[in-house]
């Protein structure tokens, strides 16, 4: 059985690492590394089959598959630079699976560096937040060599995710492009529901009318999104599962890509600016759903539901 390393124990990384240790193929052991070593030690004390390692080089050198789940492009670049400088002799033949949400250009550059070291790289961003991760219901995108995808498959469906979107033998950058586009669609839908609900309140439409329309016509995720907005989740919770800074990072990546392509995307410009206003008005630590409070205030309604 391959030896696994897990790099990065943020909110979702910690959950996925734990699931890998608990539900992975028999005899799966996970070497966990985090910049703040105490996070790895705490997780190892709580979950069997997880070993906290004190150095990134040890995590990489002692593993066959290295999963990377980090907060942003800078963190990913730093980790792979350190791997390149300290663990290059032991990297050949290994598989790096990058579950971070990063710019496709960053992924392409990292993949090129990894390939030069004789290793393989899979783009593998995640759709879904911590609650879905706890239930092993996130969706994983895999883009890269078919053999590398097959090598990682035993640790995916039913272990750390519920569904897979596979792009075999496609550039790893495609996985991250899909992640950015997918979240653009999701945030746009939330922003649209926020405006529709606020406007329906202003014009006196009964709340159940919009609820029935969403349930009958749109169905699916839109039902839960509308319920989440109306419940006041965005102002009642403490630390959000999805802070607005994540969307702002992703929208900036998309704006950059669109600019380079010469594409005009009006909806992207709108929702990107909305994210910026949420950050400016309410701070970087608020929930992505705070867009609802922003829209309500812009419509002359109270911030809170």
Convert the pLDDT of each residue in 189-218 to its tens digit. Answer: 999 999 999 999 999 999 999 999 999 999
Q: Which residues are catalytic?
A: 179
Distance CA 137, CA 231 (A): 23
- pLDDT for 305: 87
Model confidence over 49-95: pLDDT tens digits?
999 999 999 999 999 999 999 999 999 999 999 998 876 657 999 99
CA-to-CA dists, residue 140 to 58, 166, 206, angstroms: 27, 8, 39
Which residue stretches of the chain have pLDDT < 70?
87-89
- pLDDT for 27: 79
Which residues fall within 8 angstroms of residue 213, CB to CB, at 6 or more apart?
none
- pLDDT for 259: 96
C-beta of residue 231 within 8 angstroms of C-beta of residue 223:
no
- pLDDT for 89: 58
Query: What pTM does this model have?
Result: 0.93
Determine how many CB atoms are found less than 10 A away from the CB of residue 47.
17
Count helices and strands (H / E) in the chain.
14, 9
- pLDDT for 88: 60
- pLDDT for 183: 95
Distance CA 174, CA 191 (A): 26
- pLDDT for 87: 64
């Amino acid at each position: 059985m391959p030896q696994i390393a897990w790099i990065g124990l943020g909110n979702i990384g910690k959950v996925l690492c734990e699931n890998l240790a608990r539900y992975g193929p028999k005899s799966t052991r996970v070497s966990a590394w985090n910049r703040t070593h105490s996070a790895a030690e705490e997780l190892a004390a709580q979950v069997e089959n997880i070993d906290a390692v004190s150095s990134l080089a040890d995590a990489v050198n002692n593993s066959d598959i290295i999963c990377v789940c980090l907060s942003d492009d800078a963190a990913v670049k730093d980790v792979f630079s350190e791997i390149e400088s300290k663990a290059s002799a032991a990297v050949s033949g290994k598989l790096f699976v990058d579950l971070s949400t990063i710019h496709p250009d960053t992924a392409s550059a990292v993949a090129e560096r990894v390939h030069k070291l004789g290793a393989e790289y899979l783009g593998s961003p995640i759709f879904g937040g911590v609650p879905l991760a706890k239930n092993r219901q996130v969706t994983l995108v895999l883009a890269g060599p078919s053999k590398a995808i097959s090598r990682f498959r035993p640790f995916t469906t039913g272990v750390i995710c519920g569904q897979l979107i596979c792009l075999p033998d496609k550039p790893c950058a495609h996985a991250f492009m899909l992640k950015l586009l997918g979240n653009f669609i999701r945030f746009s839908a939330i922003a649209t529901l926020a405006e529709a609900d606020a406007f329906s309140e202003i014009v006196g439409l009964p709340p159940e009318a919009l609820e029935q329309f969403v349930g009958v016509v749109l169905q699916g995720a839109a039902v839960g999104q509308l319920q989440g907005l109306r419940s006041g989740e965005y102002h009642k919770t403490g630390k959000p599962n999805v802070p607005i800074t994540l969307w702002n990072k992703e929208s900036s990546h998309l704006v950059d890509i669109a600019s380079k392509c010469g594409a005009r995307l009006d909806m992207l410009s709108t929702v990107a600016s909305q994210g910026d206003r949420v950050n400016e008005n309410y701070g970087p630590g608020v929930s992505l759903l705070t867009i609802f409070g922003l829209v309500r205030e812009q419509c002359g309604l109270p911030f809170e539901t």
